[in-house]
Structure 1
Amino acid sequence: MSDTKEIFLLNVRLKEGDHNAFMEVYEKYNRGIYHFIKKFIQDTDTIDDIIHDAFLNLWKYRSNIKNNLSLQAYLYRISRNIIFKHLKEKIRSAEAILETSSDNQFFDNSPSADYSLESSEYDKIYELAIGQLPPQRKRIFLMSREEGLSYKEIADHLKISPNTVKEHMSLAMKTIREYIAKDHGIIYALLFLYTLGR
């Protein structure tokens, strides 16, 4: 059976509430999700909590899964949202401590510096931000961040050089950073990019 057909059938079974399918998904992807989260968070207990929440969300909203959806990309996005929320809470905690200092210049206290956005708003901002990219750059960005392909794999697929892919990714990150910073402040933009892996 081809990988594409296997994924399709696994998605169908998961949507139908098949617990065995859920366990197959967990066994297939939990290790990769663990290493993805570890790029941003080192505490093992926190990592385990995020993995638990990610798969819990997958099960809870399984009826929304499209049959041709990459479960790996879906789990990465869920995990990224949870990481983003966790890091926001750390920023707010640090801000609460620092705001008593008269020389606190690090945090942007302007009305545009909103660190309280929920994951659904994160997704909305994410979609709007990548929507600013030219078609080819957007495609390269999604292949890297959503499909997890290396620059070489993207280059081979699109028949371009790895350096061209790297340049597109650098420009994509710059566009996204500037777009988000304009409305939400530079700290928010940097945090957002951090959860994208750069």
Structure 2
Amino acid sequence: MASSEATNLKLAISTGDSRAFKALFDSYYPRLYRLAYHYLKSDVACEEVVSDVFIKLWNNRTKLVAIETLEFYLFRAVKNQALSYLKKEMKAVYSLYANSPSESNRIDYLEPDQMLIARELNTYLQKAIEELPERCRTIFRMVREDELTYKEVAQLLDVSPKTVENQMSIALKKLKLALDAYNQTTAPTQYISLFSALSLLEYMGS
């Protein structure tokens, strides 16, 4: 679905247009279902999760105008709902895991001064990510944050794997330029590579 079409549907739904809601549901349900299945591996659970997301969207339709990218919002909502479903179904397992001494006593490996630098760099990188073109930003987050493969992202966004690859290349080049600018403001001994920066994003997001 084109960005402009999604925006028009979003505005129509926010006014209570049920036909626009059905059009959005029909357009995105298959891809959202595939995303849910990536986490749940259960048809019943996937149907429940995706349906819940659409129900919540309709119940909060007056707030839709504040959502910048409806497509990314739906994908993130399904991911979060799927993870919540897993946590609910596996409560006993998660409880044991949380009470494990090795996890409950986990100590961050960064020293205080390193943590300060890490937080500053994380803020800088997040700003750079937000400045990426909309589709480029969505694909980058789905690959890096949601840990989906290029093929899975291509299926969900209804684009070719090559398009995903190209957009990821654009994102990484832009982030590399942003990181180069950041490194120029720090001492040479604090030079940070793109690989280290991306690893930091994963660490700070965990």
Q: Same fold judged by TM-score > 0.5?
A: yes
TM-score, with structure 1 as normaliser: 0.60
Deviation sequence 1:16-64 (CA, Å, 0-9, x none): 0111000000011001101111111101110111011111111111111
Counterpart for residue 133 of structure 1: 125
Name the structure with the higher helix share. 2
Q: How does 1:1-198 map to 2 (within 5 A)?
A: 3-66=2-65, 69-90=68-89, 92-96=91-95, 108-110=103-105, 131=123, 133=125, 135-137=127-129, 139=132, 142-145=138-141, 150-155=164-169, 160=173, 171-172=197-198, 174-180=199-205, 189=206
Rounded Cα–Cα distance in structure 2 between residues aligned with 1:55 and 1:44: 17
TM-score, with structure 2 as normaliser: 0.58
Superposed CA RMSD: 4.0
Comparing 6-15 with 140-149, greater Cα deviation is found at 140-149
Gaps of 5+ in 2: 108-120, 143-152, 158-162, 178-192
Counterpart for residue 119 of structure 1: none
C-alpha spacing 1:170/1:57, structure 2 compared with 1 (3 Å): farther
Shift of 1:87: 2.8
Do the aligned residues in 1 keep the contact of 2:14 with 2:64 (CA within 8 Å)? yes
Do the aligned residues in 1 keep the contact of 2:49 with 2:78 (CA within 8 Å)? yes
User: 4+ residue stretches of structure 1 with deviation over 6 A?
Assistant: none
Count of aligned positions: 155
The structure with more radius of gyration: 2
Q: Which amino acid aligns with 2:42?
A: D
Rounded Cα–Cα distance in structure 1 between residues aligned with 2:35 and 2:17: 26
Comparing 38-47 with 87-96, greater Cα deviation is found at 87-96
Q: Which amino acid aligns with 1:155?
A: S
Gaps of 5+ in 1: 113-128, 181-188, 190-198
Question: Percent same amino acid among aligned pairs?
Answer: 15
C-alpha spacing 1:135/1:178, structure 2 compared with 1 (3 Å): same
Deviation sequence 1:69-127 (CA, Å, 0-9, x none): 33221111111221221233355321446799xxx666x23499xxxxxxxxxxxxxxx
Rounded Cα–Cα distance in structure 2 between residues aligned with 1:137 and 1:169: 15
Where relative contact order (Cα < 8 A, 6+ residues apart) is larger, the structure is 1
